[in-house]
Chains A and B, each alone.
Chain A
């Protein structure tokens, strides 16, 4: 089956992201495909490269990046959600006259059309929210 994951929870403030990561890994291990992960609303905070969780806590960012690297999973961050939360790619930082950018590698800033495309291409969309 082709799955799309819609992540609407912030990375460190609740269990939703951990559950989503476990779901993604389990799906791939069972032969399914993750078509796209779409980070919306507070989920956009996942793309912040400056996250510095305590050393004894799991880094969701690294786990997502690993998933992208190993299994070519597409990580998409909604542009409106990202901008208002201060998650900017180099391109967006230039556009809005900021000195620095902080979008993590493996993440792309996209529009809502990418969520709709993902819905049309996937068998199931699974939401992870607070």
Chain B
């Protein structure tokens, strides 16, 4: 499928500050949006912790990931999915997240992965 802009699912699977892989995923998503790629984002497993509101990483000398993720809306990245099982596991409610996404179950995640041509996992 040369030059046909594959539909890409970006899966965020890591917590926000343990490594900079989460930041690399966000950078990739923003770049893909600038180049008008068809992208969707799935926050899965520990990745849902990136979405927790009122983060204060200054105390550990880190930049707040929340501010960059909030920019997703400005970049028209609006297909956001959240792993419902992980929310349950971390005892989180969607009201505690600063991003509005669709909470989906395991079966929906499987379908989502199948619907996309390329999957990048960070």
Contacts and interface: CB of A to CB of B under 8 A. Distances in A.
Contact-size category for B: 20 to 34
Q: Chain A's interface: helix, strand, loop or mixed, by majority?
A: mixed
A129 B6 contact: no
Contacts of A129: 21, 121
Given A119-B6, A120-B6, A8 B35 contact: no
A127 to B, nearest CB: 6
21 contacts: A8-B24, A8-B122, A40-B28, A41-B20, A41-B21, A41-B24, A111-B31, A112-B27, A112-B28, A113-B35, A116-B31, A116-B32, A119-B8, A120-B2, A120-B3, A120-B5, A120-B6, A120-B37, A121-B2, A124-B118, A129-B21
Interface of B: 1-6, 8, 20-21, 24, 27-28, 31-32, 35, 37, 118, 120-122
